[in-house]
Every structure is written in C-alpha cells, then in structure tokens.
Amino acid sequence: MSATESRTPSWAARTAPAAGGLAGRVLLGAFAAATALDLGSLLAGWHLGHVLAKPLLMPLLVAYVITRGAPRLLVAALLFGWGGDLALLFDAEPAFLIGMGSFAAGHVCYLVLFGRRGTNALLGGAYALALIGTVALLWSDLPADLRIPVAGYSLLLTAMAYRSSALGLRAGAGGALFLLSDTLIATGVAAWPQLPRPDFWIMATYLAAQFLLATGGPAREQAYGREAPQGRHSHD
C-alpha cells in the first residue's frame, strides 16, 4: 500500500471491484435498457412502464460503478437518489418532501466526495446569480409551506453543481444537468408553463446527470477526495 492510499479516509475508500469487465458491460447495458424503457414510457404516456423502470435505474447504475471500484460515498449518493426516485413516484406533498430530503442527503455525499480541489470563481459567481434569481422568481408562486424547504434544497443543490466542476467537464456537466432537472421540477410545483412531456425532460436530464457524475471522476486516482500520487498532476 502506498503512502497516499494509507491516508485515504475510510469513507472515500473504493469498493472492491466486481468480477470484471464483462459484468460492467452487462450492467451498463441493463442501465441503458432501463433508461430507454423509462424515457420511452414517458414519451408514450405509458405510466406503468415508468413505474416499472424507474426503480431499476439507480440500483443498476450503483452495481455498474461498483464494478469500477467506486468510492463508497458515490454509492451512497446514488442510493439516496434512488430513495428520492421512489418517493417521487407518489403524487403527494409528504412524498415530495421525503424525496427532496433523500436527494439532499445525496448532494451532501457528493460534496464530501468532491473534496477541496480548486474551482473557477467566475463559475461560482454565475451559479450564485442563478440561485438567487431562480429562488426569487419562484418564491411567490411556490406553496407557502414549501418555500423554505425548496430554497434550502436549492442552495445545497447549487453548491453541489458548482463543486462538481472541480473534477472536470464531464462531472461538471453532470452537476449542471442535475440543477436543470430539479429546476424543471420546481417550475412545475410553482405551476409555471411547462415543456411538452415535462416528465420526460426531467428524467432525461436527471439520468444524464447521475451517469455523468458517477463516471466523471471515480476512474481517476485523484478523484472524489482522493489525493493524487506524488509527482502526478491533472489539469482539466
């Protein structure tokens, strides 16, 4: 074990890789098939297909990243996303709050995993302006009892999206898409005009976000809070 590996916190340690490349390819194919079924069902207005496919998505992605030796907190972040997915299958305000709480826990996991790598201050300013503007515009149209929870969640989500850029373009795009997906949900809660098939766009951006976040860093030795071996540096 190297000196770097000995300093890796237990929560950032990678899970043991599964059997090998074949398992990973099979699981990735299953995730792609479940994604196609879910999005196709939403486009076709087939609610049962969505109900059957949605609960499979994050477990398949979790199994796939485990074959790549994913950090444990990445697995936890995706599983909290799964909890949010299940909660949002129910059309009720308590389920919405439970789902938002589960996603928030996942964002905390992501933030810890991203570590303290540097980010672009201008990008941070842009995210801050987007946060303030979005919350200000939505505020009066949100149900009164959801305003504070949505504002708090939006702050955490925006921080995650911004910090994801520390791992490079792929993970940064994932964070931005997660922010877009949840903003689409918030505009629906505020009863703003929606795109045709809004659930399709919400799920499409969400699934792309989780996939990019899950695959945008774990393959790198230094990603997700892990320190790069001495003498090696990466610039994104």
Alpha carbon separation from 203 to 40, 64, 75, 223, 228 (Å, rounded) = 11, 19, 20, 26, 34
**Residue bearing tokens 């890789």:** 17
Q: Each residue of 108-158: pLDDT tens digit?
A: 999 999 988 888 899 999 999 999 999 999 999 999 999 999 999 999 999
Q: What are phi and psi of 207, to 5 degrees?
A: -65, -40
pLDDT computed for residue 235 by the predictor: 42
pLDDT computed for residue 15 by the predictor: 63
pLDDT computed for residue 139 by the predictor: 97
SS3 content of the chain, % helix, strand, coil (to 5): 75, 0, 25
Cβ neighbours around 180 below 10 Å, total = 16
Q: Each residue of 196-220: pLDDT tens digit?
A: 999 999 999 999 999 999 998 644 4
Distance CA 2, CA 197 (A): 51
pLDDT computed for residue 225 by the predictor: 40
Residue 213, CB-side half-sphere exposure with 13 Å CA sphere: 34
Q: Each residue of 144-165: pLDDT tens digit?
A: 999 999 999 999 999 999 999 9
Cβ neighbours around 29 below 10 Å, total = 12
**Residue bearing tokens 């976040």:** 213
Q: Is the pLDDT of residue 236 over 60?
A: no
Q: Which amino acid is at 87?
A: A
pTM summary value: 0.84
